[in-house]
Amino acid sequence: MLADSDYRCGYFGKWHLGDEFSAQRGFEDWISIEESFKSAIGPHKIEGVSDYTKFLIEKGHKPDHGKYFSRTYSRNLPLELSEPKFLETHTCEFLERNRDRPFIAFIAFIEPHPPYTGPFNDEHPLAQISLDASNADRLGEEMPLHYRLREEVYRKRYDENGERYREIKQKYFGLITEIDHCIGGILSKLDELGLTDTTITVLTSDHGDMMGAHGLLGKRFMFEQSAAVPYLVRIPGQKDSLRVRQAISHIDFAPTILDLLGKTPDPQCVGKSRAALVRGGSMPPEHVFIEWAPGKEKINQHTKLASKDQVKQALTESTRAVVTSDGWKLCLRDKDKNELYNLPEDPDERKNVYSDSDQRDTIKHLTDQIREWQRRVGDTVKV
């Protein structure tokens, strides 16, 4: 979408869109770390070995998963041989090579991601790890069956006293520390090359992690821990730090970056530029819409929470949600129960008020907003 030959474009890390092994979508420099998603898009299996696998073999390591390395194997290596350090090294080499020309460098770390283990497992003392207040809650009948089935899996696997959850969160923080080290190395390289004041730098993510909130782990939930992501931007000439208080949709990411680069957003960008907010200006707050499509889920095969037919239906649910500018969140589902939260009053989303009779007007208004958005974008799911 940049469509500017002056820029050298490099992609480093997890691609997750089919062919991991050859440069895609206008990127010229390409470093791969994954084999497990080689057939994620389309029916055809794409054979190949990632650059990271080749690197480990050159260092004398023998693959533990056929001709590949499992994530568990690579996560138990020292920092110097880890995937994040591998990406940091290649990114810094790219910056060196392109220090005198415009460039785009996209670094896609996998971490923090299961398996929750890495070289900084003990960096954060376990005694200092706290869990969300909702960890002790049990999801009730008013909550989606889909969520309750997932909670049942995690409660059974990680006991009920929270200790295992705290151990996982400790290691999760260790993975974040690992990424911090490697991001720090890249930012230091920009400083060393004198490029910091002429480079736009962004840190963001594709999803969060429940990390024990509501007794859950991972993504796949509409709770804030899962759906909200970090979004940090540093631009040339920025004198002071600021925080944008209004909710922003990630669909605005591409047009915002193109705008900051002085480019007109491509017509395929359905979002809008938020560059004015990045520069310290103002824009009217807008609702943020979120959607969930069913995927593969592991559940307790002997669950007593519902009948087999009810379980099958819940696991194929689709969700359409809205987070309003004043902090309401409504989640509508086609095959499961709905949710409504007042985030300013209930930031941990511990009280689903969808069934409260005094919220009927709010629910109607937000339902209309979701359906208008669906009409606008051509979404035909009936929620």
Upstream peptide bond of 294 is cis (omega within 30 degrees of 0): no
pLDDT at 42: 58
Residue owning tokens 């009053």: 345
pLDDT at 44: 65
Chain segment 3-12, per-residue pLDDT in tens: 899 999 999 9
Chain segment 57-115, per-residue pLDDT in tens: 999 999 998 888 999 999 999 999 999 999 999 999 999 999 999 999 999 999 999 99
pLDDT at 43: 60
Q: Among residues 202, 37, 216, 20, which one has the least CA distance to residue 136?
A: 216
Hey, is 10 helix, strand or coil? strand
Average of per-residue pLDDT values in the chain? 93
Residues, the chain, total? 383
Residue owning tokens 């007007």: 361
Q: pLDDT confidence of 361, banded at 50, 70, 90?
A: very high
Structural Rg of the chain based on CA atoms? 22
Cα distance between residue 255 and residue 265, in whole Å = 5
Q: pLDDT confidence of 47, banded at 50, 70, 90?
A: confident
Strands (E), the chain: 8-13, 29-31, 103-108, 201-204, 231-234, 288-292, 319-323, 328-333, 339-342
- β-bridge partners, 68: 65
Cα distance between residue 322 and residue 268, in whole Å = 22
Phi, psi of 276 (to 5 degrees): -60, -40
Residue owning tokens 């909550």: 143
pLDDT mean over 216-234: 95
Calculate the alpha carbon distances from 231 to 104, 118, 215 in Å: 18, 24, 26
| Contact in structure between 316 and 343 (CB atoms under 8 Å) | no
Chain segment 167-184, per-residue pLDDT in tens: 999 999 999 999 999 999
Q: Which residues are within 8 A (CB) of 63 and not within 5 positions of it... i.e. 6 or more apart?
A: 53, 56, 57, 69, 73
| Domains by residue range for the chain, with CATH | 8-285 (3.40.720.10)
| Contact in structure between 188 and 181 (CB atoms under 8 Å) | no
pLDDT mean over 210-235: 95
Cα distance between residue 23 and residue 26, in whole Å = 7
Tell me the two tokens of residue 1: 């979408």
Q: For residue 190, give the amino acid letter.
A: L
Q: Among residues 79, 83, 78, which one has the least CA distance to residue 68?
A: 83
| Contact in structure between 158 and 150 (CB atoms under 8 Å) | no
Q: What is the pTM of this model?
A: 0.93
